[in-house]
């Protein structure tokens, strides 16, 4: 259904499904797309690892170890379960089944230029979705790592970095064999 390499004429998409306790938890969700002018998912995110039972990190190892990784603090400030959350930056994170009041610390590859951009896309268990994007200007005299806060609230989400000036804010996405960890299984197609 999806292709991970760079297409010649059409747009390719990478989509995923999540199984929980052997049952379909999230069917056919979008993760990435690109055309002939975009970097393929396979080339952009050749490495992946489970960071826990409900978090998958897609990244390029070379970028991750260039400098010190940035810190992402993801906080569910609601009394609702977040069914899934995708964080787009230099890396991609797929998180699912985030409990009310949970706080998660992630490490991400440092920015590759003078702007650090993030987008989040998610959905609450009851079906309401949210999205947000933000960019931060990195001045030459500033040296990372930087700490970013991603707050999920009843009204949506906010992305903040106390160390950096916000540049832009907008409302705002591999193919490998299925992997299993604990009660969750993840398949890409």
Q: Domain limits of the chain? A: 48-173
Identify any residues that bridge with 170 across adjacent strands, giving them in sequence order. 133
Question: Low-confidence residues of the chain, pLDDT below 70?
Answer: 1-10, 168-189
pLDDT, position 149: 97
Asked if 122 and 85 touch (Cβ cutoff 8 Å), the reply is: yes
Cα–Cα separations (whole angstroms), residue 49 to 25, 60, 91, 179: 20, 11, 12, 10
**Which distant-in-sequence residues (6+ apart) come within 8 Å of 165 by Cβ?**
136, 137, 139
pTM score: 0.79
pLDDT, position 65: 82
**Which distant-in-sequence residues (6+ apart) come within 8 Å of 144 by Cβ?**
67, 68, 70, 110, 111, 138
Please give the backbone phi and psi of residue 75, each rounded to the nearest 5 degrees, phi first.
Answer: -125, 125
d(CA 89, CA 78): 24
Q: Which fold has domain 48-173?
A: Immunoglobulin-like (2.60.40)
């Amino acid at each position: 259904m999806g292709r991970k390499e760079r297409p010649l004429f059409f747009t390719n998409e990478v989509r995923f499904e999540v199984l929980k306790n052997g049952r379909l938890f999230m069917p056919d969700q979008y993760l990435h797309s690109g055309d002939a002018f975009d970097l393929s998912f396979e080339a952009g995110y050749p490495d992946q690892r489970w960071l826990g039972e409900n978090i998958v990190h897609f990244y390029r190892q070379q970028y991750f170890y260039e400098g010190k990784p940035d810190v992402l603090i993801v906080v569910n400030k609601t009394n609702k379960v977040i069914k899934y959350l995708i964080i787009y930056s230099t890396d991609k994170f797929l998180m699912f089944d985030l409990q009310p009041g949970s706080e998660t610390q992630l490490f991400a590859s440092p920015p590759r230029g003078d702007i650090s951009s993030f987008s989040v896309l998610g959905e609450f268990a009851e079906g309401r979705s949210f999205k947000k994007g933000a960019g931060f200007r990195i001045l030459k005299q500033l040296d990372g790592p930087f700490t970013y806060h991603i707050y999920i609230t009843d009204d949506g989400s906010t992305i903040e970095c106390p160390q950096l000036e916000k540049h832009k804010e907008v409302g705002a996405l591999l193919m490998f064999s299925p992997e299993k960890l604990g009660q969750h299984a993840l398949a890409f197609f």
